[in-house]
């Protein structure tokens, strides 16, 4: 689902060497935009969250910066959403960001 939304890196590989670039921009542009806006809203208040998602986001922002953290969170939220829809499980933030 993340790949269909265009939230995975472009891959330029040749000769066994893998080179990953920015997001692919494939798929539905409007859906990708909405998911990124939602991720931006969550990252904005990451410092106030005291759960596993907040800790994960703060560590990611410190390592990679806010822009990459927004795209990484959007990708992760897409994958979580797809898993919840396909399996019928209930969302558990501690399991999702373990």
Q: Is the pLDDT of residue 19 over 90?
A: no
- Residue 51: its pLDDT value, please? 87
Residue 6 and residue 48: Cα distance in Å, rounded? 29
- The residues, ordered by sequence, that sit 6+ positions from 58 with a Cβ below 8 Å of its Cβ are 46, 47
Question: What are the tens digits of pLDDT across the range 21-80?
Answer: 777 677 788 988 999 999 999 999 988 988 899 999 999 999 999 999 999 999 999 999
Of 96 and 84, more confident: 84
Burial class of residue 36 in the structure, from the number of CB atoms within 10 Å of its CB (0-12 exposed, 13-18 middle, 19+ buried): buried
List 17's β-bridge partners, or say none.
Answer: 14
Using DSSP, state whether 67 is helix, strand or coil. Answer: helix
pTM comes to 0.82
What are the boundaries of each domain within the chain? Answer: 28-96
- Residue 29: its pLDDT value, please? 85
Unique residue bearing structure tokens 């898993």: 83
């Amino acid at each position: 689902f993340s790949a269909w939304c265009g939230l995975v890196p472009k891959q330029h590989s040749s000769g066994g060497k893998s080179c990953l670039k920015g997001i692919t921009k494939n798929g539905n542009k409007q859906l990708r935009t909405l998911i990124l806006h939602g991720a931006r809203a969550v990252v904005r208040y990451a410092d106030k969250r005291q759960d596993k998602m907040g800790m994960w986001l703060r560590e990611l922002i410190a390592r990679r910066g806010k822009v990459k953290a927004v795209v990484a969170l959007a990708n992760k939220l897409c994958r979580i959403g797809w898993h919840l829809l396909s399996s019928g499980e209930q969302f558990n933030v501690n399991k999702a960001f373990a």
